[in-house]
């Protein structure tokens, strides 16, 4: 069976920590979408690791990690990531499998990303500029290159054809500030390196594993509100970050999916542009950023911060069919005083609990309810009953209003700082 773990907000919910925590219950962890725009942080034995493309089960010896066909991979970044894990003493060679059908981010995809964003002026998406959008564009446009192609004898020709197409587009966007040769050297070195890894037909591997009753955890990247279909379009990423993406991104049937676990922060953050109804551009927003160390794991950009948005959370629970919620960073709200939660909106002055279609062009005013705060240090607590009453009430209200039970509360970044409810 396959369980799914995915983000319910705008990404950065803490998926890496929870996948790593849950991995002992699974035989395989598989990434089904996204690419090195993701930054999944893992903290254990006093160290921090950030994974971009490799599934977060990589540090657990008994677990096989699969980069699925729905992922887009940058060979240069993947090589660095693998080398960092090897340097930490973990054997990546035997427990990392890479789908031949995963698409390759080539250097000109990254340049196109930069050129596209530059051409958008103040309408820019705030992309991580890792080449994600252009690579998915080539995939759906039927121009892309896949990792399985790197073992083909005419790969170099296929690559050149694609690059020539890209160069025309880049020049049309009046962007000339790059040195392709300089970018190609590490690219070809990385391809050479990746040729020594296990490139497989991952859909066969995963379906065989299912028929042997193996347990698979599908690891999402980004968050549901950045989904290409259901996010605040066009301020989204270029893949299906929601549960629907699991079947396409891994080649497994819908009936194989068992439980969907949805992860969210006790407040909200967003990186990049786009609507954020509960954003706090004030001292409280600054406090959340500082207390929560809300700076991008991939880009280092300061994250926008705000109160928890229940209509948005409820929407994500609905789209994904979430069975169980996991609440992260609860400790960050300790000592901030009264805690607010957005329970509905006024969209162009009309009350609603629905996410507006045209969220980018309408005025969304959040309607808040306030909850008694708590001052205790939650990071030292290990049992739900020992948490302060006001915090437990907060959890209860969130659960009732989002129509989903909370299964785990995280009170700090370390594996140990995790409470089962």
- 363 C-beta neighbours (distance < 10 Å), count: 11
- Return the range that interacts with ligand IMP (CB under 6 A); candidates 6-14, 150-158, 305-313, 339-347: 6-14
Instruction: Please tell me whether residue 51 adopts helix, strand or coil conformation.
Output: strand
Is residue 395 within 8 A of residue 358, CB to CB? The reply is no
Neighbours of 258 (CB within 10 A): 12
Question: Residue 63 interacts with ligand IMP (CB under 6 A)?
Answer: no
Pairing of β 216-219 and β 28-31: parallel
Choose, by CB under 6 A, the member of 23, 108, 222, 224 that binds ligand IMP.
Answer: 222
Contact residue for ligand IMP among 5, 132, 339, 387 (CB under 6 A):
132
Alpha carbons 306 and 284: distance in angstroms, whole number: 8
The b-or-e profile of 162-184 (16+ CB within 10 A means b, else e) is: bbeebeebbeebebeeeeeeeee
For ligand IMP, the nearest residue by Cβ is: 272
Check residue 125 for interaction with ligand IMP (CB under 6 A): yes
Maximum CA extent, the chain: 65
Output the smallest distance, CB 397 to ligand IMP, in A.
26
In 206-356, at which residue ranges do the beta strands (DSSP E only) sit?
Answer: 216-219, 257-265, 268-270, 304-306, 308-309, 324-328, 339-347, 350-352
Closest to ligand IMP by CB, 11 vs 306, is 11
**Catalytically active residues, by annotation:** 12, 40
Minimum CB separation of residue 375 from ligand IMP in Å reads 30
The binder of ligand IMP chosen from 9, 37, 232, 278 (CB under 6 A): 37
- The residue range among 123-131, 149-157, 253-261, 287-295 that interacts with ligand IMP, by the rule CB under 6 A, is 123-131
Work out how close the CB of 228 gets to ligand IMP at its nearest, in angstroms, rounded to a whole number. Answer: 10
Q: Is the peptide bond before 166 cis (omega within 30 degrees of 0)?
A: no
- Residues 243-272 interacting with ligand IMP (rule: CB under 6 A): 271-272
Q: Which of 3, 12, 20, 309 binds ligand IMP (CB under 6 A)?
A: 12
**What span, in angstroms and rounded, lies between the C-alpha atoms of 82 and 91?**
9
Residue 69 CB, shortest distance to ligand IMP, in Å, is 18
Indicate which single residue of 101, 103, 110, 130 sits in contact with ligand IMP (rule: CB under 6 A): 130
Residues at the site binding ligand IMP, with contacts judged by CB under 6 A = 10-12, 37-39, 125-128, 130, 132-133, 221-222, 226, 237, 271-272
């Amino acid at each position: 069976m396959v369980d799914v773990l995915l983000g319910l907000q705008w990404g950065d919910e803490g998926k890496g920590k929870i996948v790593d925590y849950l991995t002992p219950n699974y035989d395989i962890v598989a990434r089904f979408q996204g690419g090195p725009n993701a930054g999944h942080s893992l903290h254990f034995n006093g160290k921090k690791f950030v994974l971009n493309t490799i599934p977060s089960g990589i540090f657990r010896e008994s677990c096989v990690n699969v980069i699925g066909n729905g992922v887009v991979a940058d060979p240069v970044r993947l090589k660095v990531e693998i080398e960092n894990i090897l340097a930490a003493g973990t054997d990546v060679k035997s427990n990392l499998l890479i789908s031949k059908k995963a698409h390759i981010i080539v250097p000109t995809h990254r340049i196109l990303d930069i050129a596209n964003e530059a051409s958008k002026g103040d309408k820019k998406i705030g992309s991580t500029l890792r080449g994600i959008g252009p690579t998915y564009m080539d995939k759906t446009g039927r121009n892309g290159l896949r990792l399985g192609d790197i073992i083909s004898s005419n790969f170099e020709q296929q690559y050149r054809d694609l690059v020539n197409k890209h160069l025309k587009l880049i020049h049309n966007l009046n962007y000339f500030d790059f040195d392709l040769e300089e970018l190609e050297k590490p690219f070809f070195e990385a391809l050479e390196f990746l040729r020594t890894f296990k490139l497989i037909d991952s859909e066969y591997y995963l379906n065989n594993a299912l028929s042997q009753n193996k347990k698979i955890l599908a690891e999402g990247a980004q968050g549901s509100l950045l989904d290409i279909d259901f996010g605040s379009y066009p301020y989204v990423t270029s893949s299906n970050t929601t549960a629907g993406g699991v079947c396409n991104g891994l080649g497994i049937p819908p009936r194989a999916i068992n439980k969907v676990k949805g992860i969210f922060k006790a407040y909200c953050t967003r990186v990049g542009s786009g609507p954020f109804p509960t954003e706090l551009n004030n001292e409280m927003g600054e406090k959340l950023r500082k207390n929560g160390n809300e700076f991008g794991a991939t880009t280092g950009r300061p994250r926008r911060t705000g109160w928890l948005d229940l209509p948005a959370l409820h929407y994500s629970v609905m789209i994904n069919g979430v069975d169980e919620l996991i609440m992260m960073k609860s400790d960050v709200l300790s000592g901030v005083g009264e805690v607010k939660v957005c329970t509905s909106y006024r969209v162009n002055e009309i009350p609603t609990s629905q996410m507006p279609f045209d969220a980018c062009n309408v005025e969304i005013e959040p309607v808040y309810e306030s909850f008694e705060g708590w001052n205790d240090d939650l990071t030292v607590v290990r049992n739900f009953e020992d948490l302060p009453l006001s915090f437990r009430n907060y959890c209860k209200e969130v659960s009732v209003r989002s129509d989903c039970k909370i299964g785990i509360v995280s009170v700090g970044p370390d594996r140990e700082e995790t409470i089962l409810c």
